[in-house]
Amino acid sequence: MNCGHKLSKMNVLILIVEDEKDIVKMLEYNLQKEGYRTVAVSNGEEVVRAAVQGQPDLILLDLMLPGMDGFAVCQELRKHGQTAAVPIIMLTAKSQEADKIVGLELGADDYVTKPFSPRELSARIKAVLRRSQRQRQTPEILRIGDLAIDFSRIRVTFKDKVVDLTAKEFELLKTLIQARGRVLSRDYLLDTVWGLDHATEIQTRTVDVHVTTLRKKIRAAAGHIITVKNYGYRFDSEG
Ligand code: CA
């Protein structure tokens, strides 16, 4: 199954972090009605784990939470490689102007003041998703040091010499690069690159074998493919 990188609404997962049950219900109802998938947690301390597990496309983060407040949660999320890039919309009580500024400084992408209308929130969500999608969009040719990946011609060159990649190796590299900064599980890679959705242990090793070959072939850029032990891989464009 290859769904590329387009975010269709059906695939968009929103993590709701809110301790007021009525608000959670209202958010779930409205977001699901709009076609988003949702998952909710009520305690600040559960957020990072939930975000790593669920890999949400966006987090709605209430400021006042038991356990850990929204600011601390925001900082935690930004610290972890796997959650650092997830857009965050903070939900703040009305007229906490100073809080909004602190929130944005800590890495929230936007904030919505309570009480908010579903329409207003929906518009903010769309805007933030659009922005984050644009940021992650892959250029036609991506250069990392001496390595150039040409997505339209399905070609990789190293020091201007073509690197001989198989279709699966190219697809694997492309998938990792398009999700750069995020950890992709081996199961996800098997599904996306190989179209296998219920993988056996042996099939899971296929991913490792391909990554090993890929690293050898792309040489100087091999260090960008980070192994996340017992889980999967991440493409690190900074390293
Ligand atoms: Ca609250």
Q: Can you list the domains of the chain with their CATH numbers?
A: 9-136 (3.40.50.2300), 141-235 (1.10.10.10)
Mean pLDDT over the full length of the chain: 84
More reliable by pLDDT, 9 or 188: 188
Q: Could you tell me the CA-to-CA distances from 156 to 142, 163, 184 in Å, in that order? A: 9, 5, 21
Q: Are 59 and 17 in contact (CB under 8 A)?
A: yes
What confidence category does residue 1 fall into, taking pLDDT thresholds of 50, 70 and 90? Answer: very low
pLDDT (0 to 100) of residue 4? 40
Ranges 99-103, 145-149, 214-218, most confident: 214-218
pLDDT (0 to 100) of residue 106? 67
Q: What span, in angstroms and rounded, lies between the C-alpha atoms of 239 and 235?
A: 9
List all residues 6 or more positions away from 79 whose beta carbon is below 8 Å from its beta carbon.
Answer: none
Distance between Cα 8 and ligand 1 center (Å): 30
Distance between Cα 166 and ligand 1 center (Å): 51
Distance between Cα 63 and ligand 1 center (Å): 6
Distance between Cα 21 and ligand 1 center (Å): 9
Report residue 29 as tokens.
Answer: 């109802």
pLDDT (0 to 100) of residue 29? 96
How big is the chain by its Cα radius of gyration, in Å? 20
Distance between Cα 20 and ligand 1 center (Å): 6
Distance between Cα 153 and ligand 1 center (Å): 50
pLDDT (0 to 100) of residue 24? 96
DSSP assignment letter at 12: -
Distance between Cα 18 and ligand 1 center (Å): 6
Distance between Cα 23 and ligand 1 center (Å): 9
